Amino acid sequence: MIEAFGERAAVVAGVGGWVPPDVVTNDDLAAYLDTSDEWIRTRTGIRTRHRVSPGMATSDLAVEAGRRALDSSGDPRVDAVVLATTTPDQLCPATAPVVAARLGLAGVAAFDVSAVCTGFLYGLATAAGLIAAGTAERVLLIGADAFTTIVNPEDRSTAVIFADGAGAVVLRAGHRDEPGALGRVVLGTDGTLSHLIRVPAGGSRQRSLNRSHEPGEEFFQMDGRDTFRHAVERMTAASQQAVASAGWSLADVDRLAAHQANARILTAVGERLGIAADRQLSNIADVGNTGAASIPLLLAQSHADGTLAAGHRMLLTAFGGGLAWGATTLTWPKLPGS
């Protein structure tokens, strides 16, 4: 492999997460949908999820998580804000500049990354690239999604899974041998399967046809069964590549932080990788699938409750619409104030 950027690496320097206060239980959903608490728990592992209140948008979630990550890093300044999201406040402009301004960072580079549930991994690669190239010394990377604003409340296969939240990390320029340094970020996509997860209406295709959308096309749609199979295969393969790239074996991994898509997917990936439940971080029971927020929210909560500690060798992996997937490794650092 060509070492294009020498020893310089992106190093995790802060973490934060936030979920909106409104909690939706399985029984709340079963009150109007043809589903049950038992079905949702056994098929997805989800017990509760959080939902934005009326008027609240993705930027509101992102600002809360971003502020917590900046506080945790002990330094409120960054040169760039990268926001991974599938639910921007509006189609144009990007949401990141608004988030940056509300964090007192007007003037810095700010843009959105669109890679659905793999957005945080794509964001890590983007932020690491900005740092490696010398474009930025410090980057705030936020994953935030208000999925309940695009899910069809009548669609029981998605309404029970997808939820709202935000997580963020601060990355700073450092040395690739120090704790917190990101390993190679393995990324991939398969656009021949883009129809498995999508929102058909609202983009240029439907608009250039100059017709209003068919009922339901403005909502998020997913083929759950096919998605399940691809998620397991792709997260497993990407994880194996990332671990090999780090020079580790899977037995070296202390904590797996996988995209919290579905507890059965997490179990299947863990089995294939030989990483038992006690080495897996998980919050899906309490927060559901929060899209691009999933991994950074999991990191923030696990860091706060001590299940993730300085020195843990970590494997991160995600999968989602695109189809897109990714994985990377790092050793969790000691963060300022912890």
Just list the catalytic residues: 117, 259, 289
To the nearest whole angstrom, how small is the minimum distance from the Cβ of residue 173 to ligand COA? 31
Residue nearest to ligand COA (CB): 224
Q: Which value, in Å, is the radius of gyration of the alpha carbons in the chain?
A: 19
Nearer to ligand COA, 154 or 214 (CB): 154
To the nearest whole angstrom, how small is the minimum distance from the Cβ of residue 289 to ligand COA? 6
Beta carbons within 8 Å of 53's beta carbon, 6+ residues apart: 20, 21, 22
Spell 85-116 as b/e; 16+ CB within 10 A means b. bbbbbeeeebbbbbbbbebebeebbbebbbbb
Residue 58: in which H helix or E strand, if any?
A: helix 58-73
Contacts with ligand COA by CB under 6 A lie at 35, 39-40, 43-44, 117, 156-157, 160, 222, 224-225, 227-228, 231, 261-262, 265, 289, 319-320
Assigned token pair, 303? 């860091």
To the nearest whole angstrom, how small is the minimum distance from the Cβ of residue 37 to ligand COA? 10
Nearer to ligand COA, 117 or 300 (CB): 117
Nearer to ligand COA, 244 or 263 (CB): 263
Give the separation between CA 3 and CA 112, rounded to whole angstroms: 28
Beta carbons within 8 Å of 34's beta carbon, 6+ residues apart: 156
27 within 8 A of 48, measured Cβ to Cβ: no
Assigned token pair, 169? 């990390």
To the nearest whole angstrom, how small is the minimum distance from the Cβ of residue 117 to ligand COA? 4
Nearer to ligand COA, 75 or 223 (CB): 223
